[in-house]
Amino acid sequence: MSLGGESLTEFERNARVVLEESVRRIDARTRSRLNQARHAALAASGRRRAWWSSFTLMPAAGAIAAALLVAVVLWHREPAGTQPLALDGQHPAVEDMELLTDNDSIDLIEGWDGSFYEWAAAQSDAGAESNS
Amino acid sequence: MPAALHGDVDLTDPEEQTQTRALNQFLAGVELKAFKIAQAALRHEDDALDAVQDAMLQLARAYAKRPPEEWKPLFYRILENRVRDMQRRRTVRGRVMAWLPLRGEDDDEDSDPVAQAPSLEPQPVRRLELDEAVGALEKALERLPPRQRQAFLLRTLEGCDVAETALAMGCSEGSVKTHYFRAVQALRAQLGELYL
């Protein structure tokens, strides 16, 4: 008899015999409970695997979710006609940048003359009415 | 026709079947020895059963996919951790209980003599000798330091080699050899040569 490839002394051989005897004497109640515990562990292992196995459907679920997302985005997108028109073929953002950086525009805002613009609007309305 | 199920496992999958069968075989092979090892450390039957059950569950849940040759050291490592947790909890509980009034320890013990009867009886002639030897060895094991007892039981009872024992105990192979050597020396000093 050996212990992991090493030869055993007589004491170790006897100790093993005694220990194995103590295992043989484990009562039926304890054996039954250990048996139940083993089956519970195997069932738990199965539940875990079954749970993980649901991830095999993940690619299909992901594709469906992505398609739905694209559909929702397209559905809620504003029509092209409502976009602000660019002047002289320029992009609106570029135009805004020019307004913000233009010193003249800032001067105009600083020298805001409300009465002039009100008068100009009234003239414009009067002109439109006389034309019609 | 419905698929054959074990828990929630589809046993029609041959790979799952093979793994479940191998795990069942492994656990069936170690459960009794594991119980004795846990019982030697905890000195309480129900606690030892709980520890073994927890170790089985954790192995099955977390390591069932690992190669079967790794299961034994992993299982005993988990069991050892569980035993330590229970010992720590018991120490804390003992401190708390010291402040509470005394009560019976075995209130919930099942005392069914039929259920607790030994399952396999040895030959009558040999029985007395074995009774004495088992009792003496168990008492001597209780007196060993925990690491020495663990090394001795894993190597002698479970048959783990030095590498497996080191993995299960979370120490070096050199430490295993030292613990084991000291355990044998201490037991021999207490028991003589354990002649049977």
CA distance B97 to chain A (A): 28
Which class does domain B124-196 fall in?
mainly alpha
ipTM: 0.75
Q: Is A39 exposed, middle or buried (0-12, 13-18, 19+ CB in 10 A)?
A: middle
Sorted by where each begins, the domain ranges of chain B are 1-99, 124-196
Span B64-97, pLDDT tens digits: 889 999 999 999 999 999 999 999 988 887 777 6
Q: How crowded is residue A6: how many other Cβ atoms within 10 Å of its Cβ? A: 12
Q: Does the pTM exceed 0.80?
A: no
Is A66 in the B-facing interface, judged by CB distances under 8 Å?
Answer: no
Closest chain A CA to residue B7: A43
- pLDDT of B130 reads 80
- pLDDT of B183 reads 96
Span B17-67, pLDDT tens digits: 888 899 999 999 999 999 999 999 998 999 999 999 999 999 999 998 899
Task: Indicate the residue of A16, A28, A43 with minimum beta-carbon distance to B119.
Answer: A28
* pLDDT band for position A44 (cuts 50, 70, 90): confident
In b/e form, how buried is each residue of B119-150, taking b as 16+ CB within 10 angstroms?
Answer: eeeeeeeeeeebeebbebbbebbeebeebbbb
Q: Most B CBs within 10 Å: which of A12, A27, A42, A51, as the mutation test of the B interface?
A: A42
Share of chain A above pLDDT 70, in %: 53
Rg (CA), chain B: 20
Is A54 in the B-facing interface, judged by CB distances under 8 Å?
Answer: no
Sorted by where each begins, the domain ranges of chain A are 2-76, 85-131
CB-CB under 8 Å, A26 with B36: yes
- pLDDT: is B172 or A82 the higher one? B172
